[in-house]
Amino acid sequence: MAYLPRSRLHAAHGSVRIFFVGFQPPFSRHVPASEFSHSMWKEGQRGGKCSVATDKKRMFVNIKKTLFSVSFGLMSLFTASAQDMMPEAMPARCTAEKIVTEVAAVTLESEAEAARTVRTTTARNRFGENIVKTALQYLGARYRSGMSGPYAFDCSGFTSYVYGRENVSITRSSRSQYTQGMPVRNVADLQKGDLVFFGGSRSHSSVGHVGIVTDVDPVTGKFSFVHASRTGVKVSESNEPYYSRRYIGARRIVE
């Protein structure tokens, strides 16, 4: 029998015989045409399914890549827009260093201001204590109109003398003293050494009397003061009926 140069399928009498190049099988098996056709159809179905699955997988991967590229592009666009629209929200390094330097300078200035305030308050409290200590040395001194010490005083003569002992010069009359220094509008803010003013015996609305604060109760709004009254130098309370009705205001001579 002559051999074919390549494998062929030879159909005869409704059957298929398989021949292989260069090989003569010891036996030949007849495969019915119907069985052969069915086997080939099944193989084709399996191959088709694999091909469809592979195509679907490849399409899914491509979709993921496309979505990632679009997302990355949108993110880059948003970042660039944010830098253009809000440059102050994303400062450069030099700008950030400048901000830190300015904040540090402001902090140092605030600390220095706080230290100055503490020193000023301490000095003011010491001055007030000295004023009160000097004034209380003259308790019991006589009252004389127009006198300014050291053995007799009227009200404004007494305050000007005590302040003079602490090297602070103030005017001689109670009305002019009421224009000196800074006003203390709230009784709770009074400090030792402040001047307090009252209406006179004839007019409650115009300044006619002055004293020096010796103590303050910020809770009750009550204060004590030393002054040259008609009976001499003494300490009185602000809630005494005569003075509570005539209180006009206070001044702080030394800040």
> Where in the sequence numbering do the catalytic residues fall?
155, 209, 227
Q: Are strands 142-143 and 152-153 parallel, antiparallel or unpaired?
A: parallel
The answer to whether residues 238 and 244 touch, using CB atoms and an 8 Å cutoff, is yes
Alpha helices in the chain (DSSP H): 33-85, 93-136, 155-165, 174-177, 241-244
Q: Are strands 247-252 and 222-229 parallel, antiparallel or unpaired?
A: unpaired
Type of residue numbered 215: D
Both structure tokens of 15: 């059957």
The answer to whether residues 250 and 190 touch, using CB atoms and an 8 Å cutoff, is yes
* 26 cis-preceded (ω within 30 degrees of 0): no
The answer to whether residues 39 and 31 touch, using CB atoms and an 8 Å cutoff, is no
Q: How far is CA 141 from the centre of its chain?
A: 57
